[in-house]
Amino acid sequence: MTVRSVIRNADWTISVDREEGASGPLYEVECTTCTDRSDAEDERGPAEDWALRHAGRNPDHRGYRAIITSFLRVTPAPGNPLAEEGR
């Protein structure tokens, strides 16, 4: 195994992944009574519609958890040797 380099105390940034082809946020809703869950969608509407239909079929299931998954990317900050290499 070859170690190329070790970088100590280098700065990094983290932000929403906006790279080409990156996924946007995904939305799901989970019933807090029975833990049934909607499919993950890239818009809120279908997940919220699922919760309304689920409540209609199960009138005592009134609590729901919104689950929003965002994708992040970590990149070398200016001054980090990897930023200068263009990696």
Encode pLDDT of 6-16 as tens digits. 657 788 999 99
Nearest to 64 by CA among 26, 25, 38, 85: 38
How far apart (Å, rounded) are the C-alpha atoms in residues 84 and 75?
12
> Can you give the residue ranges of every domain in the chain?
18-70
pTM for the predicted model, two decimal places: 0.74
Maximum Cα interatomic distance, the chain, rounded to a whole number of Å: 61
How far apart (Å, rounded) are the C-alpha atoms in residues 57 and 39?
17
Calculate mean pLDDT across residues 34-59. 98
